[in-house]
Every structure is written in C-alpha cells, then in structure tokens.
C-alpha cells in the first residue's frame, strides 16, 4: 500500500493518541509453577520496576504509565502512595491501574469474594476497598479486578450462591468509586479453578459489571479464551454495548501463555485493533479503552521484551488505522467477500515500520527503540546494581 500525504498525517495523529500501559510485575523475576529462572538485571524493588517502565517509555514514546499490584508494590499500603507517585514522575511515567491481590494468601484457598466463609469474603472486600483508597490518592483511574475464585471438583460449591456473593461484593466496591474512577472486571475460563471458575467468560463479566453500576466495564485479556475463540467478535459486541473497558495484552499458543504480544498471531492483534478503529470511525470519536500489557517475562530479558511488545502494539494499531473503511463497508454491503477481506489484508501486509521511524524522529525518539535501549547501557547498569540481590533470590528460592 502506498500512503498518501493525508494518510501519513492521519497515521501520525493516531500514533500521538495511542498509549499502552506496562505492568510493574513484568519487570520482576517471575516463573512457572515448575520453577523460576532468575535474571541478574531484573527489578527487585518497586522503584526499580518503575525505573524499568520509565526506560521503556523513553525509547518507545508510547508507554506513559505503569500498572501496579498492591501487595507486591505497596508493602505499607496507602502510606507508600506519595513517594511512589513522586518517584514515577522523576522517571517520566505515572501510576496506572491499581491491581488488588485476593489470590495469594492462605485464606483464599476456597476463593475471595466467592468464598463460602463470610469472614474471608469480608477480608477480601476490605483489601479491595483499601485499594480503592490507594486508587483515589494516587490519581489512578482504573481498578483492575481479577479473581482466581472457582471450584475444581463437581459439587464442591454452589454456583448461584457464589455468583450472589460476587454481585454483593462488586456492588460494594462500585459504591466507593468517585470522580472518573472505573472498575474493570476481568474473566478467565480456567486456572487455578478447573471445574467452574466464578467469572469464566465475557458474558459473566458483563452481567456482574452491569449489576455493579455504570463505572464497571469488562476487561479483556487476550490470553483468557479457549482455543479458536473469536476475540475480535467479543470486542465488537462489548463496544456495541459500551461495556469494553480495557485490555490485558499478551499472546498465547495453547492457553494463558503470557507470551510477547503478536509473537504467535499478529493478525489476531490487528483484527482486534481493526474492530476498535472501525467502531471509532463509525462513532466519530475515540473509544474509552485502557490498553494494558499483562505478560510474564520468564525467559526473555524483561525490559527488552516489554519494548518488543510496545513496538508490536504500535505496528498492529497503525496497520489497523490504514484500513480503507469506506471501501470496506461498501464491499460488505454488496456482499463482495473477497474484496471485503482484501481491505483488511492490504492494510495488514503494509510495512508500517518506515512510518513508525518517521513518527519517532518527529518526537525526538530513536528510530529503533530496541537498539537505542541496548546502546544506552541501561541493562548493564541495572545488572551491576541488582545482581547481588538477584543472586540472593536464587539462594532463597532453592
């Protein structure tokens, strides 16, 4: 596809308005249920995670905020908010989505808001409400809610009772939101609950969000679907209902693999962005969607993989903006199957990397973010400062 001057100008405007949030936990040492492979340069403290996020934003220009996990990033709770906000500002980023943690403590063996023990439900709700206060003080817009709740064996829990407890808990959380604050309700078909996960699909998240109130929206994790599921169709339906609040971006080969965005199926990422761009074109305004990354960087260098993800997101989003939507709609209405599909294929197979390089130059950024990061010496400096602490992590893990 040869771009006109108008298309190039429109592409630059689209890139100017595109931001993707990175997760603090993506910079720390993580592992699988079978083992953890320690990286010498991995972040060992919350300020180090924020510094890594700042480095990603410096070289990509599209990652201005970092999502945080309260138990992992705020050991002193709300008392840590001011210092972390101030430090994030020095690194050129802001604190983004607030993520409660109601899945790692021992009391959550049988669930959190869906636990049959009322005291455990109160404990989980208290933590989430504390996170809402952190959200208010930090100036964060989104409360990102994921629950490991469910049952792994038939007959071990009441599906309808657990649904009711979730409705009550989420309504209480919603009642405490103020200003422009939102709560995003994530879903996952399985793991760690293998028989009946309490919020297993987008329909369940939709129902709970609608019952919670107008500030509640659905959060789509691109890895949280069964094989072959049409994620962009889910996206289109949620857009039509004004219920799409945000994404957790990653890629998958089998299930929730948490792989680098687009490394397995970049066309799927493009198709999701296309549905969003088409909706925005039809509505004449930008959709209110939070684009967030949720990946577990177990093997690749953590900062480099995040840069890869950000650049891929930019590329797939930019390709989606290039679809000739007027022609697409015309061909669809005529029932021209091949010509309709070719509208997508032509945009997807356009090499947008030269355009991205031009955009980066216009913003005073390096044309190749990954190369710029490597040349900066950031990884070597981080490794020198963090290696000893990470060696200690190896010893404690062993």
**In terms of DSSP H, where are the helices of the chain?**
5-16, 46-60, 70-73, 81-90, 118-138, 159-175, 202-212, 231-240, 266-283, 302-321, 325-334, 337-348, 353-362, 369-376, 378-397
Token pair, residue 280, equals: 């925005």
* Termini Cα distance of the chain: 54
- Residues 151/192, Cβ–Cβ less than 8 Å: no
| Residue-level pLDDT at 394 | 60
| Residue-level pLDDT at 2 | 78
Q: How far is C-alpha 316 from the geometric centre of its chain's CA atoms?
A: 16
Give Cβ neighbours of residue 318 (< 8 Å, ≥ 6 apart): 11, 14, 15, 352, 355, 356
| Residue-level pLDDT at 8 | 86
- DSSP reduced 3-state for 131: helix
- pLDDT digits (tens), the chain, 398 positions: 777 888 889 999 999 999 999 999 999 998 777 778 899 999 999 999 999 999 999 999 999 999 999 999 999 999 999 999 999 999 999 999 999 999 999 999 999 999 999 999 999 999 999 999 999 999 999 999 999 999 999 999 999 999 999 999 999 999 999 999 999 999 999 999 999 999 999 999 999 999 999 999 999 999 999 999 999 999 999 999 999 999 999 999 999 999 999 999 999 999 999 999 999 999 999 999 999 999 988 899 999 999 999 999 999 999 999 999 999 999 999 999 999 999 999 999 999 999 999 999 999 999 999 999 999 999 999 999 999 999 887 655 44
Rounded Cα–Cα distance for residues 343 and 323 (Å):
6
Domain boundaries, the chain: 7-315+365-397
Exposure letters 334-357 (e unless 16+ CB within 10 A, then b) = eeeeeebeebbeebbebebeebbe
- Residues 184/145, Cβ–Cβ less than 8 Å: yes
Give Cβ neighbours of residue 40 (< 8 Å, ≥ 6 apart): 383, 386, 387, 390, 391
Backbone φ and ψ for 126, nearest 5 degrees, come out as: -60, -45
The distance between the two most distant Cα atoms of the chain, rounded to a whole number of Å, is: 66
Which of 184, 187, 189 has the alpha carbon at shortest distance from 202? 187
If you write DSSP's letter for every residue of 50-77 in order, what string do you get?
A: HHHHHHHHHHHS---EEEEEHHHH-TTG
244 φ/ψ sector (left φ>0, alpha ψ -120 to 50, else beta): beta
CATH 3.30.470.10 fits 7-315+365-397, yes or no: no
Token pair, residue 162, equals: 């657990």
Which of 93, 24, 108 has the alpha carbon at shortest distance from 55? 93
Give Cβ neighbours of residue 339 (< 8 Å, ≥ 6 apart): 327, 331
Which of 118, 218, 132 has the alpha carbon at shortest distance from 174? 132
Exposure letters 140-166 (e unless 16+ CB within 10 A, then b) = bbbbbbbbbbbbeeeeebeeeebbebb
Rounded Cα–Cα distance for residues 245 and 290 (Å):
6
């Amino acid at each position: 596809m040869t771009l006109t001057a108008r298309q190039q100008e429109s592409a630059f405007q689209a890139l100017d308005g595109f931001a993707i949030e990175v997760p603090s936990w993506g910079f720390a040492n993580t592992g699988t249920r079978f083992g953890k492979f320690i990286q010498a340069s991995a972040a060992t403290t919350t300020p180090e995670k924020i510094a890594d996020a700042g480095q990603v934003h410096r070289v990509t220009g599209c990652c201005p905020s970092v999502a945080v996990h309260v138990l992992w990033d705020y050991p002193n709770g709300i008392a840590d908010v001011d210092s972390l906000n101030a430090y994030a500002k020095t690194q050129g980023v802001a604190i983004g989505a607030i993520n409660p943690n109601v899945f790692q403590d021992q009391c959550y063996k049988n669930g959190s808001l869906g636990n049959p023990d009322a005291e455990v439900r109160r404990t989980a709700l208290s933590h989430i409400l504390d996170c809402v206060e952190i959200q208010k003080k930090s100036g964060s817009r989104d409360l990102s809610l994921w629950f490991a709740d469910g049952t792994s064996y038939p007959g071990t829990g009441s599906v309808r009772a657990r649904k009711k407890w979730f409705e009550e808990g989420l309504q209480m959380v919603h009642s405490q939101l103020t200003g422009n604050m939102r709560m995003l309700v994530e879903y996952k078909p399985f793991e760690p609950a293998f028989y009946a996960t309490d919020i297993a699909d987008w329909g369940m998240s939709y129902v709970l969000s609608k019952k919670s109130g107008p500030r509640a929206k659905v959060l789509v994790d691109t890895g949280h679907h069964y094989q072959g599921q049409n994620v962009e169709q889910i996206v289109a339906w949620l857009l039509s209902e004004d219920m799409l609040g945000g994404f957790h971006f990653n890629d998958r080969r089998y299930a929730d693999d948490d792989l680098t965005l687009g490394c397995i199926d970049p066309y799927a990422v493009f198709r999701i962005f296309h549905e969003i761009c088409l909706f925005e074109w039809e509505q004449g305004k930008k959709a209110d969607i939070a684009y967030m990354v949720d990946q577990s960087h177990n093997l690749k260098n953590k900062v480099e993989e995040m840069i890869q993800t950000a650049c891929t997101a930019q590329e797939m989003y930019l390709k989606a903006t290039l679809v000739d939507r007027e022609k697409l709609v015309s061909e669809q209405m005529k029932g021209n199957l091949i010509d309709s599909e070719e509208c997508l294929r032509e945009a997807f197979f356009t090499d947008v990397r030269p355009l991205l390089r031009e955009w980066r130059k216009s913003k005073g950024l390096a044309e190749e973010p990954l190369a710029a990061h490597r040349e900066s010496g950031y990884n070597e400096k981080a490794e020198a400062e963090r290696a000893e602490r990470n060696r200690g992590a190896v010893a404690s893990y062993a």
